Structure 1
Amino acid sequence: MKLQLLAVLALATPLFFTTAVKADNPQDLQKLLTTGECIDCNLRGANLSSAHLIGADLRGANLQNANLSGANLEGADLTGANLTGANLTSAYITNVNLKQANLNNANLTRAKIYDSNVYQASMNNLTITDAEIYHTGIGVGGEDAEIPDWE
């Protein structure tokens, strides 16, 4: 009986500790996780929760509806990336290049956003509840809101 229980536990244990990492293109996800670079990749719907993406090159990547909650994106290059509907709750976003990125409907609740470039980024319907935003052109305003020119 003990041997059977031990066998069941040995087989089931990995199921309890495996993080669901998925994306529309698993090869692109694996490339990002092994090299830190994934230019023009399809990472739509990827679960990158709590990922360490420090200095990652994600220029032009499709991260639509990706889960980046708690991720560390320090120094990442997301120029032209599609982050529509992405979950960036509690993400660490410092010195990140978001130039011309699409952040429409992104959730930045409790995110820490410092010194990041959002020049020409699309930022409609952002959720920025309790976010810390310093030296970054994100704010509450309408069409007449002043956005700094980072060029």
Structure 2
Amino acid sequence: MKGILLPVLPAIALMTTLSLGLPVRAENPVQVKQLLETSACSACNLSGANLTGAHLIGADLRNANLQGANLANANLEGADLTGANLKGANLEGAFVTNAILDQANLAGVNLTNARMINASTVGAILTDIEISGADLLGSGISVGGEY
């Protein structure tokens, strides 16, 4: 048994080392295409997807997995992201006005320079978000204390 494993071990070690440097991409390309063509992708797996600058006005993204997705400069005006997982997503410069983010996971989201006016965030997880330069009027997101 030892004689069989010895020649295989260096190959396994090399493959493991090489795979550690590869980026993790989990999005489903068919579902990304569906979203971009129809603006409807409820419960889709879009984790890690590059949706930079995407026009997703009124999109149905309820319960979608957008963990770690890049939505920089995307237009999500009026989109329904109820229950969506946006943990660690990049929404820098995104337009998220009048969107519904109720019960969404926004932990660690980057909202730098985003416009998120009158977005609903009832029951959303809002820990460790970056809001530098963001316009958050009426969104339920504020810096410390009550307003």
Q: Which TM-score applies when normalising by structure 1?
A: 0.78
Determine if the alignment matches structure 1 residue 64 to structure 2 residue 67: yes
CA contact (8 A) 1:42 1:63 kept: yes
Two-structure CA RMSD over aligned residues (Å): 1.3
The aligned length equals 123
Residue in structure 1 matched with residue 78 of structure 2 by the alignment: 75
Q: 1:26-74: CA deviations, max 9, x gaps?
A: 1110110111100000000000000000000000000000000000000
Residue in structure 2 matched with residue 19 of structure 1 by the alignment: none
Give the letter aligned to residue 30 of structure 1: K
Separation in 1, partners of 2:146, 2:32: 37
- Percentage identity across aligned positions? 54
Closer/same/farther in 2, CA of residues 96 and 137 from structure 1, 3 Å limit: same
Aligned residue among 131, 134, 137 for 1:134: 137
Aligned residue among 3, 26, 31 for 1:28: 31
Q: Which runs of 5+ in 2 are unaligned?
A: 1-24
Higher strand share: 1
Highest CA radius of gyration, 1 or 2?
A: 2
Aligned residue among 87, 111, 115 for 2:114: 111
Specify the SS of the correspondent of 2:96. strand
Q: Which TM-score applies when normalising by structure 2?
A: 0.81
Give the Å deviation of 1:23: 5.4
Give the Å deviation of 1:133: 1.1
Give the letter aligned to residue 132 of structure 1: D
